[in-house]
Amino acid sequence: MNNLAVFLALCLGSSPEIAVRLGQPAPGTASIGVSSSLEAPEPLRCLRPGERPAASLTLTAAGGARAKHPVVRLRIVGGAARAAFPALVRRGPVPLPDGTAVTRESYMTVTRREGDDVVADVPVPPVAASPDRYILVDLSQSVEWVKDAVLIADPKDTAPLGDRRMLVLVHGKENADISGDQHSSAKTAVWKTLRESADYAGLLESHKAYLFLYPTYRSCEENGRALARLIRQVAPGLGAGQLAMVGHSMGGQVLRYAAAEPALAGRLGVAITMAGAHRGSILSTLMYANDRIVERVGPLWWLVLKVAQRTEPDTPGLRSLCWDNHDGSISAADAEAFGLPLNPELASFNASDPNLRRLVCLHGDVANLIGKGALWGVPQEVIRQGAAAFGPAFANCDPFVPYGSGVLDGAANHQALTYPNFDHGEIVERPEVWADALAYLQAAGGALERRASAR
C-alpha cells in the first residue's frame, strides 16, 4: 500500500507549474515550453450577472510541450486578492473527433485557492500559433451562479398554512450547485423517507411543510439570513413558537443562523438537526492544508487528501464549514504549520446562539463505515480513517461530520440523541430516526398549545 501511495503521489505531482504574478511581467518557462503574459481583464460571453473578470492571461506553447506535459499547473500568484470566490474561464481550441478543433469558452472544473494564490491544472496549448486565453473571474457578487434561494411549499400539501405550524426542511451541501444553473433534485430527494412515510399525512394536519432550496456555495450565515427573510415573506403573521425546522448536515448550521435573526426572534418552537455541522467539519479545514500535512498524516493519507483537494471546489460555503476548534483540538502551531483555517466566527455563534434550548441534535455514533454507501462503504471508511490519521478526536466521523460537531459537544441546554453506526446518509433515511424527529415536533407543538390554553 505504501509503494502504491508513493507511486500515485509521484504521478499526481508530475504536472509542471507555471506561476503568473499579478502586477508584474510573467517570464516564459523554457523548461516546459510554455510561456505566459498578463493582459487587462476583458468581458466574456459566458459570464453570468454579477460575475467580474479580475485578470486575463495568455498561455503559449512551444513545439513538443504538449507531448511532454499535457497538463500544466497554473498558479496565479496573489489572485485570491482580486477574486474572493475565484473561477477560471478558458478560451481555447477544443479537439473534435474529425481531427479539427473549435474555439470555446468554458469554466475549469477545479479551481482552488492556496493561500493568496489561485491554482488550477490546465491543458498545455496544442501549438504555438493557437494560444489559450484565461480569465480569472470573481464570483463573490454573482447572483445567478444557481437560482436564488427559494422557500417552496411541499407539493404534497396544497392547503394554506392557516393556523398550522410552519415546518421548514433545510438540505445539506450539494456540489452540483457549482456546475448547474438550477437547484439539484437531490436537495428535495434527501427528504424522501419523511415525505413517503405513513406518518407524514398525520404530521401535515398540524404542520405545513416547506422546502428551502439554497446555493450551498454561499456561506451558512448568508443562507441563514436569506431563509429568515423568506420565512417572514411567506408567513408574515407567524406567531411565537410557531416555527419548526429540520436540517441535514450543512442545513443544521443554516437553520440555526436563520432562527437567530432578529426577524424570527421568539418564533422558533423546535429545531432538529440530523448530522448537523454545528462545529464544522475537520474535512473542510483539511481541504486547505498545505503539503507539510504529510508530516502529520503520512504519505498515504496525504495522497488521499491531495486527490480530495483537487476535486472539492473552494467556496465561501466550504469555508463556513471549517472546524470551529472549540476544544483546542488543533493547536495554533499546527494551524500555522499546516495552513489550516479555523472558524472562530462559528465558535462565537455557538457560544451566543439564543435558541439552544430549542435544539435537538440527532447524530450517528460511528465506529466503522465498511458496508455503508456506494462501493461497499470503502470510500466512506477511507475518509473516516483519514480524519482519524490527523487526530484521534476526529476518528468518529460519519464520515463528513465528527461526533462532537453533530451533537454540538461543549454546549449546554440542548438535547442530543445518537444512533449506533448510522452514517451521514442513513441518519436522514432511517424510519427510526424520523420516528424520534416526529415525536419532538409533536411534543413542541403540544407545549405551544399548553402555553396558549394557560393564557
Question: Does 34 score more than 60 pLDDT?
Answer: no
Question: Does 351 score more than 60 pLDDT?
Answer: yes
User: Domains of the chain, with CATH numbers?
Assistant: 17-138 (2.60.40), 150-281+316-454 (3.40.50.1820)
**Which range scores top for mean pLDDT: 117-131, 173-187, 212-226?**
212-226
Band of pLDDT at residue 68, cut at 50, 70 and 90: low
- CA–centroid distance for 320 within its chain: 8
Q: Considering the chain, what percentage of its residues have pLDDT values greater than 70?
A: 82
Question: pTM, whole model, 2 decimals?
Answer: 0.76
List the grid coordinates of 67: 507531448
* Alpha carbon distance 375, 370 (integer Å): 9
**Which range scores top for mean pLDDT: 110-124, 264-278, 291-305?**
264-278
Question: Does 2 score more than 60 pLDDT?
Answer: no
Question: Does 65 score more than 80 pLDDT?
Answer: no
Give the mean model confidence (pLDDT) for residues 296-310: 89
Strand 165-170 to 207-213 pairing: parallel
Give the mean model confidence (pLDDT) for residues 7-28: 56
Question: Does 122 score more than 80 pLDDT?
Answer: yes
**Of 339 and 106, the one with more pLDDT:** 339
Question: Tens of pLDDT along 240-261?
Answer: 999 999 999 999 999 999 999 9
Question: Does 347 score more than 90 pLDDT?
Answer: yes
Question: Does 222 score more than 50 pLDDT?
Answer: yes
Question: Does 228 score more than 90 pLDDT?
Answer: yes
DSSP state of 1: -
For the chain, the average pLDDT equals 84
Give the mean model confidence (pLDDT) for residues 100-117: 77
Residue 427 makes CB contacts below 8 A (sequence gap 6+) with 248, 274, 275, 362, 363, 364, 398, 419, 433
44 burial class (0-12, 13-18, 19+ CB within 10 angstroms)?
A: middle
Please give the pLDDT value at position 348. Answer: 95
Question: Tens of pLDDT along 390-413?
Answer: 999 999 999 999 999 999 999 999
CA-nearest of 271, 317, 432, 308 to 364 is 432
Number of Cβ atoms within 10 Å of the Cβ of 115: 12
Question: Does 46 score more than 50 pLDDT?
Answer: yes
CA-nearest of 289, 287, 319 to 84 is 319
Please give the pLDDT value at position 62. Answer: 63
Place of cell 482552488: 112
Please give the pLDDT value at position 4. Answer: 36
User: Got the DSSP string for 313-370?
Assistant: ---HHHHHTB---TT--S-HHHHHHHT----HHHHHHHHH-TTGGGEEEEEEE-S--T
Question: Does 212 score more than 60 pLDDT?
Answer: yes
Please give the pLDDT value at position 28. Answer: 41
Question: Does 370 score more than 50 pLDDT?
Answer: yes
List the grid coordinates of 30: 523554457
Please give the pLDDT value at position 109. Answer: 64
Question: Does 455 score more than 50 pLDDT?
Answer: no
What backbone phi and psi angles, to 5 degrees, belong to 255? -70, -30
Q: Considering the chain, what percentage of its residues have pLDDT values greater than 90?
A: 55
What is the three-class DSSP state of 374?
A: helix
